[in-house]
Amino acid sequence: MKIPKPKKKISLRSAIRVTSRDFAEFIKTRDCLSTSGSMEMGKCYTCGKFFTRYELEAGHFLPGRHRSILLDERACHIQCILCNRTLMGNPDAYRMRMMADYGQTVIDEIEKMNRLSRDYTIEELIKLRRDFRARTACLILRSIGQISW
Ligand SMILES: [Zn+2]
């Protein structure tokens, strides 16, 4: 009799890593399409210059990649490498854009969340990952006119 292999268990750390990767792809797709109409180009949230998708990163509003806002789409936008890495997020410009796009109430909420620690479960991360992948697919299909909603 063949003994079934036990299902490979995914660690919380790797679940966070893969979910963050799909979250970043969602952010890049969302922001490239909204700023250039194309998946291949996008406008950096903080310096306003256009770059190819491969020169853009999903940059967080607040540093530290704190878990409670790690996957909050309001706190993450495409940034060029100069702004995201060299200028460490270009925080003054980021805050000004956040103020214009979301307002002080949302900024306060995100800053409050960032002070709280949040523990995800693997099931939660799997669900979030599925949602981000589905939403990315919807954005792509909409951009090429395959769906109209
Ligand atoms: Zn930039």
Question: Tokens representing 49?
Answer: 């210059």
Q: Is the pLDDT of residue 4 over 90?
A: no
DSSP letters spanning 71-104: T-GGGEEEEEHIIIIITTT-HHHHHHHHHHHT-H
The Cα 125–Cα 131 span in angstroms is: 10
The protein residues having their C-beta less than 5 angstroms from ligand 1 (an ion) are: 44, 47, 80, 83
Q: Which residues is 57 bridged to in the sheet?
A: 79
Alpha-carbon distance 36 to 38, whole Å?
Answer: 5
Phi, psi of 51 (to 5 degrees): -140, 165
How far, in Å, is the centroid of ligand 1 from the Cα of 4?
51
Q: How far, in Å, is the centroid of ligand 1 from the Cα of 112?
A: 26
The model's pTM is 0.90
Cα–Cα distance, 144 to 44 (Å, whole number): 23
15-47: pLDDT as tens digits: 999 999 999 999 999 999 999 999 999 999 999
